[in-house]
């Protein structure tokens, strides 16, 4: 259970950080807090034992009681961090059963079923694709679903269970619909990544950084797994697509504004100043393929983060209030000029819990790289200084990798801590949003994706802490 795991990890973290850099604080949440949130999260996965993941239990104002492919994939990947391997295998087999039904049904919306974003999870329509007007296709969804399945498949192979992978998840030498759920999604991604689609916020139809990043990651991992299971032709094809995606992604960088644009010019949807969007940070996390491409220490990503921070510091009154009250961090929203308030559009947008916690993970990820010996150059230190509190700048200027990493960890903790301040009075339930003026929670309650970002941020932090300790 997470409680025992967290207690062990927290004691370990506190002990060695006291030895290495005394100024690094402990994780903001207690083990009891984390266990509590684990329970809320688990209530939303494997819904009624059928393998679906609900976005939120909210059924009205707003109605989020659906299985979104994106949210489901990200949440199932995060689930591995809080359950035992055996429990995770059980959850994942239920999830695979859900996917099989989702992928193999007629599409009432007259598109390829693999591009569908959401499904019903209640009543007579249980398991059927959502058949009302919506932003579709959403081509990040099959990429993320494939990634979650492939990461699990690799762990199964490492544990000696390759036969399940090649008989159920990806059948080598076969083609959809007889090749298993992983290859079905990979084939869709490999043949459709150049097409326009809707962004992760389901508002803009065009070409998006988030989507391309996770698509590329699915191709990279697909090529790797294809070689292992004996499907070399597919592996070569996916590797070719991964390479082709790199220049398409690089096109999103705008040196004139210092921003990685989430959507390229020509995309439909809401106006965003300089096309800034927190989806870029999310995409860099979920779409990182463990190479140097838009990963840790990316000056383009850090420039984008600095610009986003400026936007949200100036946009949300609650950030001003929290800073004056001495609370660290900054609450991040989705993008400038957001008009969705958690209930309806045409309003003023708010900070999002998942966006804020993603920034913490982004900081922890750089801390990992730095602690492992990759000292940042002067340009990157300059960006760090615009995010890291002034009280920690002496660590940034020390030239010591562990001290720089500790400054990044402490800064990330501040983002987590600011969210904690606003949810602790509500029993640590995590909604979708925090009111831009008061900080009170609003929007869908117990948003599964919100919890997932906390667990993945904590896991990244533990990796950073271990790296500082030289283990």
Confirm if 165 and 156 have CB atoms less than 8 A apart. yes
> Got the DSSP string for 168-188?
II--TT--TTSS-HHHHHHHH
> Which among 184, 14, 41, 193 is positioned nearest to 99, based on CA atoms?
184
**Which residues touch 86 (CB under 8 Å, ≥6 apart)?**
none
Annotated catalytic residue, options 202, 239, 385, 400:
202
* Residue 34 token pair: 């984390």
* Residue 223 token pair: 């090529």
E strands, 175-306, in order:
197-198, 205-206, 253-254, 259-260
> Which among 186, 188, 189 is positioned nearest to 234, based on CA atoms?
186
Annotated catalytic residue, options 38, 46, 116, 199:
199
Tell me the backbone φ, ψ of residue 241, rounded to 5 degrees: -70, -35
Q: Is 63 a catalytic residue?
A: no
* Cα radius of gyration rounded to whole Å, the chain: 21
Q: How many residues does the chain have?
A: 471
| Prior bond of 62 cis (ω within 30°) | yes
Confirm if 468 and 402 have CB atoms less than 8 A apart. yes
Confirm if 447 and 431 have CB atoms less than 8 A apart. yes
Q: Is 199 a catalytic residue?
A: yes
* Residue 448 token pair: 């599964």
Is residue 285 within a helix (H) or strand (E), and if so which, with residue range?
helix 279-286
Q: Which sequence positions are flagged as catalytic? A: 199, 202
């Amino acid at each position: 259970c997470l409680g025992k795991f967290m207690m062990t990890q927290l004691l370990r973290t506190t002990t060695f950080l006291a030895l290495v850099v005394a100024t690094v604080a402990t994780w903001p949440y207690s083990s009891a807090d984390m266990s509590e949130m684990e329970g809320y999260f688990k209530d939303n996965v494997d819904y009624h034992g059928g393998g679906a993941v609900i976005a939120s239990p909210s059924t009205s104002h707003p109605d989020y009681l659906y299985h979104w492919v994106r949210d489901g994939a990200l949440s199932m990947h995060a689930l591995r961090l809080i359950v035992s391997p055996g429990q995770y295998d059980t959850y994942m087999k239920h999830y695979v059963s859900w996917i099989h039904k989702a992928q193999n049904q007629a599409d009432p919306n007259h598109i390829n079923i693999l591009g569908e974003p959401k499904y019903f999870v209640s009543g007579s329509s249980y398991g059927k694709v959502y058949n009302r007007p919506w932003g579709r296709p959403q081509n990040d969804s099959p990429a993320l679903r494939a990634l979650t399945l492939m990461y699990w498949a690799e762990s199964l192979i490492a544990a000696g269970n390759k036969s399940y992978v090649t008989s159920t998840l990806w059948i080598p030498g076969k083609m959809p619909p007889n090749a298993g759920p992983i290859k079905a999604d990979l084939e869709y991604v490999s043949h459709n990544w150049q097409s326009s689609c809707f962004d992760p916020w389901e508002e803009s139809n065009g070409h998006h950084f988030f989507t391309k990043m996770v698509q590329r990651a699915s191709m990279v991992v697909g090529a790797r797994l294809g070689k292992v299971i004996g499907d070399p032709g597919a592996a070569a094809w996916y590797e070719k697509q991964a390479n082709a995606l790199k220049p398409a992604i690089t096109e999103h960088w705008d040196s004139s504004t210092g921003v990685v644009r989430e959507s390229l010019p020509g995309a439909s949807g809401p106006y965003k100043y300089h096309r800034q969007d927190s989806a870029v940070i999310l995409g860099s996390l979920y779409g990182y393929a463990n190479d140097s491409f838009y990963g840790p220490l990316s000056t383009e990503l850090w420039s984008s983060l600095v610009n986003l921070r400026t936007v949200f510091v100036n946009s949300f009154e609650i950030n001003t209030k929290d800073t004056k009250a001495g609370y660290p961090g900054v609450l991040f929203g989705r993008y400038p000029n957001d008009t969705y308030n958690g209930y309806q559009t045409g309003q003023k947008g708010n900070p999002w819990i998942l966006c804020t916690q993603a920034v913490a993970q982004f900081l922890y990820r750089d801390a990992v790289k730095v602690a492992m010996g990759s000292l940042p150059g002067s340009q990157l230190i300059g960006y760090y200084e615009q995010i890291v509190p002034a009280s920690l700048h002496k660590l940034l200027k020390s030239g010591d990798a562990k001290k720089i990493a500790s400054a990044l960890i402490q800064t990330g903790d501040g983002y987590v801590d600011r969210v904690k301040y606003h949810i602790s009075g509500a029993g640590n339930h995590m909604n979708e949003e925090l009111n831009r003026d008061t900080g009170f929670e609003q929007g869908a309650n117990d948003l599964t994706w919100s919890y997932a970002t906390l667990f993945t941020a904590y896991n990244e932090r533990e990796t950073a802490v271990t790296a500082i300790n030289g283990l």
